[in-house]
A and B are shown apart, each in its own frame.
Chain A
Amino acid sequence: MRIPAFLFLALVPLSAQDAGVTRADWPHYGGTQFSWRYSALDQVNTSNVKNLLPAWIFQTGDYTENLGSTPIVSGGVLYLISAGARVFALDAAKGTLIWQYRYPTARPGIAGSHSDFIQNRGVAVGDGKVIFGTKDNFVVALDQKTGHEVWKVSVDDPKQCGCNITGAPLIVKDKVIVGGNGGDQAHRGYLTAFYTKNGRAAWRWYVVPGPGEKGNETWKGDSWRFGGGAPWLTGSFDADLNLVYWGTGNAAADFYDADRVAPGTNKSKDVNLYTASMVALDADTGKLRWYFQEVPDDVWDFDSSYEVLLMDRQIRGQMRKILVHMNKSGLTFVFDRVTGEFLSSFNVPELSNWITGVTEDGKLVGRNEPEMGKTKNLCPSAAGAKSWNSMAYSPRTGFLYTPTNEICTDITPNDTKPTEGRFFMNGDFPMKLPPNRTTYSHVDAWDPVTGKRIWSVPYKFVLLSSMLATAGDLVFTGDPEGNFFALDARTGNKLWSFQTGAGHRGGSISYSVNGRQYIAVTTGFQQTVVGGAVLGMFPEENFRAGSTLVVFALPEGSR
């Protein structure tokens, strides 16, 4: 049988290079579902970036906890969600409003729990719908063309779980997968998949296995019921392997383990599964295919919830399908994403005293744990060597671009018993600036294969905004003072900076319409949780609130 050439081409699997880069569209939270936050557009490059100017701006009018989301662009339309779940479809070239949707006032959760944190990190767009999670644990699908509600389904009761959905959903084939927060509380985390067509539940995977399931034996007594592990951010997907990759949250209670870990437990491997782990799930069934627990018996609030970067790289002379993942501690793991085999690790922060090292097979050495009756200064802090803002990866340089904070914490544990849906951290953990430093963060370039830092640019406060890498060999991010800036991807030299008027806590993207490249960034500094803790550490500063999307391009005629 003769196969027409164009059909044959369509059947050839995309290489990782193609699967990882964005072009005119920015279709997913992490750019593509390989989560590189890398655009193949190069109209804006190292030689002309100095000419970048705002093309349009858009104010959401929702100043509730500012703007921490990453926009999506599809077919010349930009989709943006605010913290209070107002959703906008905008003409991506002009910024004019196509439609807007306002989620009704969310049902209150448990006061003083995660369910009252107001954040939304993004929508997912697919199957003709714009899909997002809400503060009161609904997943809502809007018609992509009109913004009208198509379906809406409750994932959990915020009054009971004290949890909510702040991460962007991940659309995988005919389903949308959502996580949720609540892992710092008496709660048991899960991922749930719904059919995009009609909102019906397809599968749920509990991070903490129930009785009779493998892994439940790694929990003392019935501590699994409130074991935390909530996967609160967004995973990745490899279509060739049909695997969904997701990082899970910390074990609860965060800083005290005597009620969840049996005395005498060997802590080198598999304690309180599958918290603080990288997991690979079958995309169709949600069944666990492989896992690697990065932090067995986590007692530092070191989630593994962050973004999951999938790439193909030469390792010891062999092309491997790998997965690169930074734990909240800044310890960064490289796995074979087919099998889950641990390949290597490297530690990104400069200050790190929670362990002394990692063995060649990925086991933590020299655990420095919080102790009852004592206050210990530990680094990094529960705010993370990196917060939930994503790193980026450029296939041109082969480097990861990471925003790293050097913040420590004084941990004083306690043994408070859990109440369902209430905070269950069992510790006080004020953030502390480490002594003898004048800068508390840095943007770095790392080679994930050699584990070597290539360059590092210090910054005096902290960095809480996602990175964007482009084929113009540029790396973009924003700072709390309001500067949005571009670095040379090969050297780290600062090439351009623009004062956007408010601090940065969201993500930047690149896309094109009619051949013109745009770079869009969400602005407005988070005033509570990690952003609030940062404000407390720099009381003289005013990291300004806001809720504005600023979109840059080269001036018409100058390209």
Chain B
Amino acid sequence: MRALLFFVIGAFASAQNLPEVLKQGENVFTKSCATGYCHGARGTTGGAPRLAARGFDQNFISDTVMRGVPTTAMPAFATTLSRADLTAVVAYVASLNGIANPTIAGSGGPSGSTAGPAAAKLSGDAARGRALFSDAVRGFGRCSTCHEIGGFGIAVATPIAKVPADAAALKALATPQVSTVTLGSESMPALMVSKKANAVIFYDLTTPPPVLRTESPASVQTRDGSTWRHASVIGAYSDAELTSILAYLRAVAKP
């Protein structure tokens, strides 16, 4: 496993000199590791163990950064930091442990999260759409309440296969997968997840956010079709904003 990790890190040739990498590593450390509840500034003090001057070797540091420490608040950063940031932060922590020339193969890439498409690659309109898609200010009215893209959002709906042409088409979207569930005297729009002998599991779409409900098959009646309309849950956005969101969806759509 260790060899594999180094293969992954080592596959990207160095394009930066050590001081630049250490600077990048310090920036990553400041943002993701140095809060006082965790390792503190320069890894000297905080709620989590001290990291400076512990005599750690670089392999140990790399392993721990990549995999985290199970059952503690120390997360695995392997999938949440870019390769360049991982290399840089490992080199930085190595430097805190007196390693004068840490290995920096794999450095030189962009800083930032690996989750989601890199904002830098998107056009202005698509980048605006990306921010709108998961805009916290919209509360439960944002797209990411029901749609997940690139690790962001809640995957209630199935992945977006076909991007509507414009805002009007987005509002008029046909949603044949939404059915009607009747429980007692109440009917509701529903997205069926599974029907088993002992449980019917579905999303209740009555009001955002969708609620994953588990009911006994005897109490549930289902029928195809619903009065639910996609237009009713995207009212938090203007047409211009929806157009930007569509530009984003087109930019990240799988061919």
Residues in chain A within 8 A of chain B (CB atoms): 63-65, 108, 110-113, 116-118, 148-155, 157, 159-161, 184, 187-188, 198-201, 204, 210, 225, 382, 412, 416, 419-420, 422-423, 425, 427-431, 527-533, 536
Contacts and interface: CB of A to CB of B under 8 A. Distances in A.
10 contacts: A111-B76, A151-B212, A153-B212, A160-B144, A198-B206, A422-B32, A423-B31, A530-B47, A532-B49, A536-B46
Nearest to B208: A201
Interface in B135-150: 136-137, 139-140, 144-145
A423 B37 CA distance: 10
A105 B33 CA distance: 23
A104 B36 CA distance: 30
Given A110-B80, A428-B36, A150 B213 contact: yes
B47 A153 contact: no
B47 A536 contact: yes
Interface in B197-239: 199, 204, 206-214
A111 B73 contact: no
Contact of A430 (B40, B115, B140, B145): B40
Instruction: Tell me which of A112, A116, A419, A420 has the highest count of chain B C-beta atoms within 10 A of its own C-beta.
Output: A112
B211 A153 contact: yes
B76 A149 contact: no
A112 B38 contact: yes
Contact of B134 (A108, A160, A425, A531): A160
A427 B36 contact: yes
A538 to B, nearest CB: 14
B31 A430 contact: no
B75 A112 contact: yes
A416 B208 CA distance: 35
Contacts of B194: none
A384 to B, nearest CB: 12
Contact of A528 (B40, B48, B210): B48
B50 interface: yes
B211 A200 contact: yes
A300 to B, nearest CB: 12
A554 B134 CA distance: 56
Interface in B38-53: 38, 40-41, 44-50
B81 to A, nearest CB: 7
A429 B46 CA distance: 8
Nearest to B139: A204
A533 B46 contact: yes
A420 B204 CA distance: 30
Nearest to B32: A112
A151 B31 contact: no
A536 B45 CA distance: 8
Contacts of B15: none
B120 to A, nearest CB: 15
Interface residues of B, number: 53
A215 to B, nearest CB: 16
Nearest to B77: A111
B204 A65 contact: no
Interface stretch (B55-63, B121-129, B151-159): B151-159
B101 interface: no
Given A112-B77, A151-B212, A200 B206 contact: yes
Given A117-B73, A198-B211, A225-B137, A111 B47 contact: no
Contacts of A184: 35, 37
Given A427-B36, A528-B47, A416 B144 contact: no
Contacts of B151: 159
A116 B75 contact: yes
Interface in B150-186: 151-154
A113 B115 CA distance: 15
A187 B137 CA distance: 10
Given A153-B211, A528-B48, A63 B71 contact: yes
Contact of B152 (A63, A155, A159): A159
A118 B144 contact: no
Contacts of A382: 36
A425 B35 contact: yes
Contacts of B136: 160-161, 187-188, 225, 420
Nearest to A420: B136
A151 B213 contact: yes
A431 B47 CA distance: 9
B84 interface: no
Interface in B68-120: 68, 71-77, 79-81, 113, 115
Contacts of B81: 111
B212 A532 contact: no
A149 B36 contact: no
B34 interface: yes
A165 B151 CA distance: 20
A210 B137 CA distance: 8
B116 to A, nearest CB: 9
Contacts of A423: 31-32, 35
B14 interface: no
A111 B32 contact: yes
B212 to A, nearest CB: 4
Contacts of B44: 430
A57 B168 CA distance: 62
A65 B32 contact: no
A446 B209 CA distance: 45
A64 B71 contact: yes
Nearest to A156: B136
Contacts of A420: 136
B206 A412 contact: no
B30 interface: yes
A64 to B, nearest CB: 5
A148 B47 CA distance: 36
A111 B72 contact: no
Nearest to B145: A154
Contacts of A159: 115, 151-152
